Chains A and B, each alone.
Chain A
Amino acid sequence: MGLSRDQMAIRVARELQDGYYVNLGIGIPTLVANHVPEGMEVMLQSENGLLGMGPFPTEENVDADLINAGKQTVTTATGASIFSSAESFAMIRGGHVDLTVLGAFEVDAHGNIASWMIPGKLIKGMGGAMDLVAGADNIIVTMTHADKYGNSKLLPECSLPLTGAGCIKQVLTDLAYLEIRDGKFHLVERAPGISVEEIVEKTAGELVVPDNVPEMQF
């Protein structure tokens, strides 16, 4: 058994630093907000124009004019600011957001990411994903290591249409934490109880395995 969704969020949350501005995608990335270490302040950016996203509102505080990028009703945190979409993407594309966490279908050894479209299925659009991966320097991709048939999602080359080229340097899967550089995946940590052999077997792209691969602690 690899990491649970919550454990993945906990592991990502260890990369947070006090004073970080962070954009979290939908799914597992959203859960990271629940695991901000005690005493640390981070501000969540929502690309529809909100910096300093608070929790969901109580029933009596629901406001149709206050939503997040997933179109859910939200609240503002203390010290929040609200601005236009152009301003929002200026801070994303200008590299001002400290950490971006998002999901993907595939990542390859060149740092390419495919996350928005599966040919043959209905295409809904990329939303802000192409802007986020192109604009951020510090991105963590969270996804399962392999699909439900056991096929690796860490590939020599992405097979699906790209969201961004050469922009991913860190991937957290349910099995491992990996870095991408020089056209290779580098194994950094493994999930508790997961062997290096299993990770090697489920990584289709070239993988560099150091002598010592520490196990994540929870």
Chain B
Amino acid sequence: MAGFDKVVNTYEEAMAGLEDDMTLIAGGFGICGIPENLIAQIKTMGTKGLTIVSNNCGIDGFGLGVLLEDRQIKKMISSYVGENKLFEEQLLAGDLEVELTPQGTLAEKMRAAGAGIPAFYTATGYGTDIAEGKDVREFDGRKYILEESIKADFAIVKAWKADRYGNAIYRHTAQNFNPMAATAGKITVMEVEEIVEPGELDPTQIHTPGIYVDRLIQGTFEKRIEIRTVREG
């Protein structure tokens, strides 16, 4: 690597330095826009005791769900889980911890972390069980709870195209949590469908500026569909 060139050539290099008991943020919603090859690499590495921050935990046999197979996940911080049998089994057996977090709060926790904001007040969850033990403050006659941001040792994200400097564009709703995730990792690893030369992407159209990206790799993607719904054509 030289200068701003973030490209690495192997998935081993991409995930080098990930160790047991680290915290990892993963982009994606359901199995849409997930860094599927980076997740597969973590499975290959066998890293254990991971705390993973991601909206969901994949499905059986795909996405983050594969990390359940060898019990690599210690704790999930998510808004919606349990689309997979293994997850349910490990949760009920007490082998897996879950911290449920409202989806907007989860996105904001990542965004805030990346922006250097340690905590923020939100009305979401006030008066519910998730507010327990959290600071409450009133602004303009309305009550808000204090939520802390989430930083991670690693962030893994999936974009559509990026230039070698890591300036990236997402495709359709595969964007979801990826832009915030990209800002919140001490080391941010991005995988994309296509890497182009700097200058080829229109600077106006960049979603994630390269400053957030530490390592960039081009992969091939299965892009499995969780719920295929069609109408008669």
Contact = CB atoms under 8 A, between A and B. Distances in A.
Contact of B231 (A58, A83, A128, A164): A58
Given A57-B230, A67-B173, A73-B230, A128 B32 contact: no
Interface string A105-138: 0000000100000000011111111110011000
Interface string A45-68: 011111000011111111111111
A130 B111 CA distance: 18
Interface stretch (A33-41, A86-94, A206-214): A86-94
Contacts of A134: 122-126
B229 A85 contact: no
Contacts of A63: 172
Contacts of A128: 79, 102-104
Specify the main secondary structure of chain A where it touches its partner.
loop
A67 B175 CA distance: 11
B232 interface: yes
B173 A49 contact: yes
B100 A123 contact: yes
Interface string B79-109: 1111000001001100000001011111110
A48 to B, nearest CB: 5
Contact of A124 (B82, B128, B129): B82
Contact of B175 (A64, A83, A162): A83
A204 interface: no
Nearest to A166: B127
Interface residues of A, number: 53
A130 B175 contact: no
B180 interface: yes
B117 interface: no
Contacts of A161: 128-129
B233 A58 contact: yes
Given A84-B180, A164-B128, A93 B173 contact: no
B81 A131 contact: no
Contacts of A164: 126-128
Contacts, number: 173
A84 B32 contact: no
Contact of B107 (A65, A68, A85): A85
B30 A60 contact: no
A162 B102 CA distance: 13
Contact of A130 (B88, B124, B177, B230): B124
Interface string A148-167: 00000000000001111110
A86 B180 contact: yes
A65 B171 contact: yes
A47 B111 CA distance: 16
B172 A66 contact: yes
A79 interface: no
Contact of A86 (B108, B129, B233): B108
Given A122-B88, A131-B102, A56 B79 contact: no
B137 interface: no
Contacts of A126: 79-80, 100, 102-103, 130
Contacts of A74: 229
B176 A89 contact: no
B102 to A, nearest CB: 4
Given A58-B231, A59-B230, A73-B229, A84 B30 contact: no
20 contacts: A65-B172, A65-B223, A66-B172, A67-B30, A67-B32, A71-B227, A84-B175, A84-B178, A85-B29, A122-B91, A123-B82, A125-B79, A125-B80, A125-B100, A126-B79, A130-B124, A134-B124, A134-B125, A165-B127, A166-B127
Given A67-B30, A71-B226, A163-B128, 5 more contacts: A56-B230, A84-B179, A86-B110, A122-B82, A162-B127
The 8 closest A-B pairs by CB, nearest first: A165-B127, A89-B104, A58-B233, A131-B104, A64-B223, A125-B80, A72-B229, A85-B107
